[in-house]
Structure formats: structure tokens, C-alpha cells
A and B are shown apart, each in its own frame.
Chain A
Amino acid sequence: MSSTLTPNPSPSGRGEQSEWPLWEVFVRSKAGLDHKHCGSLHATDPTMAIQLARDVYTRRQEGTSIWVVRSDQIVASDPGEKAMYFDPMEDKIYRHPTFYELPKSVEHI
């Protein structure tokens, strides 16, 4: 749960927001590839988030396209439910398509 959007009490007691909202940054390194999550940053709005993402995450030619998403807009699975969610799949190797005999002529699978 992000705390960046809840007003942080300031020393003056006015309850003003002392931190800009957090954004998650996704960068596509070249055409045809997926956007990959590469980090986060603080910005006041979408325009600033895109510009700062450009400055912080693509300075070494990492990108050709940027997505930003407000961190508080991302819904995540609960780490506490990890066992219930993911462990049952451990012994179900038959769900992988590895038991088929492939003809030799079929490549790239």
C-alpha cells in the first residue's frame, strides 16, 4: 500500500502533501519488444512523469518508448497469499507441453 498519496503531516501542521505521487516506469528497448518495468519515480502529473522517466531511465540509450503508470493504480497480488496462489502449481508438470514427440521437421518450438 503506497503512502505517497496520503497527506503527510508537515511540521507546520497544515497537512500539506510533502511528496509527489509515485509512478512506475516501463521502457521498451526496441521496436517489437515488450515494455519492461525498470523502476519508479516521483512526479506531479503524467507529462512530468514521462519527461523525468526519459531523463532518469533512458539516458544510456535504453529506450524507444516509455509508459508510466501511477503506482497506486496497480493492483498487486497479496504476498501473504503467495503459498495458496502459486505453490499448488509446483507438482503439475503435465501442464507444460513437454510430453509431445515433435516431428524433426518442426523447428523453433
Chain B
Amino acid sequence: MKPGLDMQSIRVSSDPAVQYLLRLGDTCLILAQRLGEWCGHAPVLEEDIALTNMALDLLGQARAVLTRAGEIETRGHDEDQLAFLRDERDYLNLTLVELPNGDFAFTVLRNFAMASLLRLLWEQLAASSDTELGAIAGKAVKEARYHRQHAADWVVRLGDGTEESARRMQDALHRLWLYVPEFFEADAVDEYAASSGLGPRWADLRDAWLAETTAVFDKAKLQLPPEPKFRSEGKRGRHSEHMGYILADLQYLQRAYPGGVW
């Protein structure tokens, strides 16, 4: 291979099946990257290990889904090329997962929101018309169930904890809430996935997600913020200002040493 050739960014297919998988895979990938940043910084050693365990679970899910996306795309892109060589606009993760970790309250609240969503998704994806994706989902759902339980416990502990922890959780919920509508925005990609049996419309998960998260927020004595007017659009490739910095971290090595392996 000519030096520098594979440093160039790859473009991905606009095939809705590929886009549907990239939304899922990228969401796992970027959240894994964020959680990895806690390594060595969590409030206690035990939670440090728990957060990085979750990061590794998410990374494993991202690898499997990106690999499958590459296979369906049939342009010969593997998981590494998809993870490291796309431009920002071609990443289709939810905006929420690219936001900085903030404090521990925001971290656990985001984990809870995401694990609740991913658990619902994986449960439905287990019955996907794509048997490969179904198998990935069958394994991932067990991980997501644990992530959800672990995060929900923290949400209740901190929300219904001290004055300071309650204030931080409530602030975190206000911040997080701005990015929730994006989860459930309907579009042609979801429509295709539903009609082909690849997976559910994310919009169809909204009621179940709201019911189970608000039950935990109630228990945590957190007040639900009003429905925001703002709409984030990470799923369509339009990201916040934080995304470029993550990609710089994530991609540096592959761009500097193309094809470099462990």
C-alpha cells in the first residue's frame, strides 16, 4: 500500500441499513470513549473499574456492530476503518454521548439514560431479520441490563442523597434533557429498518423509555424538566463542538501511523 494512502478519510454508504447500524455502533463507540476517560479518575477505585468495564462492554458492542455495518455496506470497510477513518459528518451517534463527562452526576445519569435506551433496542434487535445483528443483540442485552441497574442505583442514591448530590443530579437532568428528543426523532432510516425487519423505529421505544426512566427519576426525587424546543442532530451527522476533539483523540494514532496494529 502506498504510504499515506489509507490515511485519507473513507466515505460511507447512504444505504439506510448501514446508516441504521452506524447510529447504533457509533453511539456505543463514542460513549465507550467518554467512559474510558474516567479511567484513573473515578471517585473510588471500585467505581473506576465499574465504569471502565462498561466502557469495554460498549466498545465490544461497537466493534461487532461496525463490523456488521461494513459487511452490509460491501465496500470492504472493516471495524477499524469505520471507527478511525471517517470524517465527523459521517459519524451518526447521538449527540448526548459526545458531550463531555462533566461531573459524576452527569456521567451516571447519561449512563442510565443510554443503558435504558440500549437495553430496549437490543431486546428488539434480538429478533432482527438480520440474524448476525440478532446474535450481537442477544449478547449485548445482558450487558445493557447490568449497566442500567448499576446506573439506576447511582441515580437514586445521588438524587435522593445529600443536598449537594441532589442539586448536581437535578442540574445534570436539565442538561441531559435537551438531548433526549433526538433519541426518538423519526426519519426514513428508521422507517426502512422497521419495514425491512432490521430493527425497531427508535421512536417506537419512546413510551417504554419514558415510563422506566421517570419511575427511577421519581424514586430519586428528581423533577422532570419541560420538553425542550432545541433539537440535536448527531444521528444525522450534525454534531456538537465537542465531537471534533473526541475524534482527534480517537483517530490520531491511525492517522499518524496508518494501518498500525497492536
Q: Taking beta carbons and an 8 Å cutoff, which residues of A are in contact with B? A: 20, 41-44, 47-48, 51-52, 54-56, 59
Contacts and interface: CB of A to CB of B under 8 A. Distances in A.
B53 interface: yes
Contacts of A51: 50, 149-150, 153
Task: Please list the 7 inter-chain residue pairs (A to B) with the smallest Cβ-Cβ separation, ordered nearest first.
Answer: A55-B50, A52-B46, A41-B46, A56-B49, A55-B53, A55-B49, A56-B46
Interface residues of B, number: 12
Contacts of A47: 153
A42 B44 contact: yes
Binding site secondary structure of chain B: helix
A10 to B, nearest CB: 15
Nearest to A53: B46
A47 B46 CA distance: 14
B53 A20 contact: no
B53 A52 contact: no
Nearest to B53: A55
A48 B53 contact: no
Contacts, number: 30
17 contacts: A20-B44, A42-B44, A43-B46, A44-B157, A48-B153, A48-B157, A52-B46, A52-B49, A54-B146, A55-B46, A55-B50, A55-B53, A56-B46, A56-B49, A56-B50, A59-B49, A59-B53
B162 to A, nearest CB: 11
Given A43-B46, A52-B50, 5 more contacts: A42-B44, A44-B157, A48-B157, A52-B49, A59-B53
B59 to A, nearest CB: 14
A24 to B, nearest CB: 14
Contacts of B50: 51-52, 55-56
B204 interface: no
A109 B46 CA distance: 43
Nearest to A52: B46
Contacts of A20: 44
Nearest to A51: B150
A56 B48 CA distance: 9
